[in-house]
Amino acid sequence: MQNVLVYVQHKGGHTPKVTFEMATQARVLADKLGGKAHALVVGNGATQLAESLKAYPLDVIHVNDDADVDTFLLDPVVDFIDAAARAIGPSLILIPNTLTGKDIAGRIMARLNAGICADAVDFKIEGGRVEAIMPKMGGAAITTCALKPGDYGVVTIRPNAFAVQASGAGATVQAIEKPSGKTYTVTVEKDIEEGSGELALEEAPVVIAGGRGLGGPEPFDTLLKPLAQALGGAVGASRAAADAGWVPYSLQIGQTGKTVSPNLYIAVGISGAIQHKVGMRSSGTIVAINKDGQSPIAEFSDLTVVGDAFAIVPELTKLVAASKS
Ligand SMILES: Cc1cc2nc3c(=O)[nH]c(=O)nc-3n(C[C@H](O)[C@H](O)[C@H](O)COP(=O)(O)OP(=O)(O)OC[C@H]3O[C@@H](n4cnc5c(N)ncnc54)[C@H](O)[C@@H]3O)c2cc1C
């Protein structure tokens, strides 16, 4: 028997989609391990967020609105995870594979003397043995790493790799105490939003991605951005566009880039190579705008618009703007 504990990263009660992905996956893992699915949410807005997490298939949500979490850098969070993990016993601890999540995961691994698997996109469980599956070396290799059965194990989870199912199991919300006698010294002076738009791309409900077919950097600003704005989405790119220096690598989608799973994905001038497909195939509706109707992307898009992107995209943007007004 092994429990599963999800660390819920959030800001003032706002949490990224990966939290819901982890909450859903925690249920699957806990059922296979014969344990319970727990979540830990701490800091300003935690109680309110815990209420909305009840919609997901968790058993217990540990909560504390402790102000130190937002005042000091990471240490209070690590203390809370440590306390929750020790309270529930040997457990599989799921942490988002974000910059902050990775920082926390390393610390909690050391605290609990646990094994760690980073950037998991899938799991295999047999006889209580947990194996995490992780792309490595930019996706050129897929590795499988087993954690010690029945002990603490830390796994960071790649955003958008797991499905979300909001089928609430009526989780119990219970208060968790911060370990006593702790003093913290490193304060958070200022929170700076990432300039790369990293979060926006991974969280966006609509993604407009451009590829080599756009021929240069300008159309990303003049063609794709207006459409993304009209649809309330974010701009992404293929690796060919990033390699050409037309956009930063933070916009690259695919095996060696980001995994996205928006409701609507519009691929503009992208051929649909397998390495691109793996980063966007779980999108809701996939639309391709490509002048070659035989391009591989036509095989897995829901709708292929055959024609010149430079003629189609401005018209589409106008239509979207008109329908909104
Ligand atoms: C190990 C490895 C990892 C990789 N990782 C990634 C990754 O993470 N992400 C990724 O994207 N790729 C990745 N690649 C590269 C991938 O194999 C492809 O080379 C790349 O996706 C091609 O990008 P593209 O579709 O933009 O360009 P192309 O394949 O050149 O396609 C351009 C498309 O634009 C169309 N087009 C041209 N002009 C127009 C126009 N005016 N209007 C409309 N359509 C037009 C063409 O018909 C064509 O279909 C990886 C490759 C390797 C080997």
Question: How far, in Å, from the CA of 273 to the mean position of ligand 1?
Answer: 6
Domains along the chain with CATH numbers: 3-175 (3.40.50.620), 198-324 (3.40.50.1220)
What is the Å distance from ligand 1's center to 303 Cα?
A: 18
Nearest of 167, 255, 236, 146 to residue 197 by alpha carbon: 236
Map tokens 């035989």 to a residue: 294
To test the pocket of ligand 1, the residue of 239, 247, 268 to mutate (highest count of ligand atoms within 8 Å of its CB) is: 239
> 254 in the Ramachandran plot: left (φ > 0), alpha (ψ -120 to 50) or beta?
left
The secondary structure of residue 219, as a DSSP letter, is H
Pick left, alpha or beta for residue 273 (phi over 0 → left; psi -120 to 50 → alpha; otherwise beta): beta
Q: Give residues (CB < 6 A) around ligand 1.
A: 139-140, 211-213, 238-241, 252-257, 269-271, 273, 275-276, 279, 289-292, 295, 308-310
Residues in CB range of 51: below 8 A, 6 or more apart: 173
Radius of gyration (C-alpha) of the chain in whole angstroms: 21
Pocket probe for ligand 1: among 121, 235, 238, 289, the residue whose CB has the most ligand atoms within 8 Å is 238
What pTM value is reported for the model?
A: 0.71
What is the pLDDT tens value at each position of the chain, 325 positions in all? Answer: 799 999 999 999 999 999 999 999 999 999 999 999 999 999 999 999 999 999 999 999 999 999 999 999 999 999 999 999 999 999 999 999 988 999 999 999 999 999 999 999 999 998 889 999 998 776 678 899 999 998 999 999 998 889 898 887 789 999 999 888 888 999 988 876 654 444 578 889 999 999 999 999 999 999 999 999 999 999 999 999 999 999 999 999 998 888 898 999 999 999 999 999 989 998 999 999 999 999 999 999 999 999 999 999 999 999 999 998 7
Predicted pLDDT at 193: 62
Closest CA to 249 of 237, 259, 264: 237
